[in-house]
């Protein structure tokens, strides 16, 4: 969740690249090569830049269809659990084949920083 010290959400830390970064930082801390405070600054920087790059550079569209199983709204974050989902991707060069899965969890939060309209 976004905090006053870090106005960006920490959602991407659970991605494969975020987990790899966290593991590398943990190793550096345990070896005494960096301080934990520096690792936190690096993670906050990661949160900021991943959010900005995704909002500026990603131009593909995605549509999906499925059966909504569960939803909740807590602390300004929506969570959706959807079953039997079909995804259709539309990129600048044409459509790609549809992808299906049994279930998916979507976490959604406001993309604006505090104070923005």
- Could you give all domains of the chain from N- to C-terminal order, each with its CATH number? 11-57 (1.10.287.190), 61-109 (2.30.18.10)
Contact (CB, 8 A) for 11 and 109:
yes
User: Alpha-carbon Rg of the chain, whole angstroms?
Assistant: 17
Q: What is the pLDDT of residues 1-58, one digit of tens each?
A: 555 566 677 888 988 999 999 999 999 999 999 999 999 999 999 999 998 888 888 8
Contact (CB, 8 A) for 6 and 44:
yes
Q: What is the pLDDT of residues 46-58, one digit of tens each?
A: 999 998 888 888 8
């Amino acid at each position: 969740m976004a905090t006053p010290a870090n106005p960006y959400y920490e959602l991407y830390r659970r991605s494969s690249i975020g987990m790899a970064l966290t593991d590398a930082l943990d190793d550096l801390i345990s070896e005494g090569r960096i301080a934990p405070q520096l690792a936190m600054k690096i993670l906050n920087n990661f949160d900021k830049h991943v959010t900005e790059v995704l909002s500026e550079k990603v131009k593909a569209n995605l549509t999906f269809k499925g059966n909504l199983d569960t939803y909740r709204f807590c602390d300004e974050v929506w969570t959706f659990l959807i079953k039997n989902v079909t995804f259709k991707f539309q990129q600048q060069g044409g459509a790609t084949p549809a992808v299906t899965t049994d279930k998916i969890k979507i976490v959604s939060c406001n993309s604006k920083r505090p104070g923005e309209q």
